Amino acid sequence: MSTQNRCQLLDITREIMRIIEKQKIKEGVLHIFCPHTTAAVTVNENYDPSVQSDISKTLSKLIPHHAHYAHTEGNADAHIKAAVMGSSRTLFIHNGTIAFGSWQGIYFCEFDGPRTREVWVKVLKE
């Protein structure tokens, strides 16, 4: 997938749903893994997009792009944000699809874009 901004939460719910539903596993566990060190995955509100920009902006306020970092590639903040948000999330599969609570969606968290990115998924049968 492609991200458009340096920092951005991208809704990947439908893409993951489509992959999962093809696997025809009725009950199980879905693992999502982010193979990048300046990005993360999260599960959060999928109704009001301003929530996603609030998350992204608040993280950038707490962990600024430029500060006295030792890492000299100019993206130390992105590594720290990725570590705080986490590289993996686990959700449940019920009746062949992802079991969400109301308002939940899956987001790719870009902290050093724009870039071409990947997310890996795996489903384990119950």
- Contact status, residue 125 vs residue 25, Cβ threshold 8 Å: yes
The residue (of 86 and 114) whose beta carbon lies closer to a copy of itself is 86
Task: Give, to the nearest 10 degrees, the angle between helix 50-62 and helix 76-85.
Answer: 120
Spatial strand order in the sheet of 120-125: 97-99, 88-94, 28-33, 120-125
Residue 2 CB partners (closer than 8 Å, separation 6+): 114, 115, 116, 117
- Residues between 86 and 125 that touch a copy of itself (CB under 8 A): 86-92, 99-104, 118, 120, 122, 124
Of 7-46, which residues contact a copy of itself (CB under 8 A)?
29, 31, 33-37, 42-45
Q: CB 21 → a copy of itself: shortest distance, Å?
A: 18
- By CB under 8 A, name the binding residues for a copy of itself: 29, 31, 33-37, 42-45, 48, 50-51, 53-55, 57-59, 62-63, 67, 69-73, 76, 79-80, 82-92, 99-104, 118, 120, 122, 124, 126
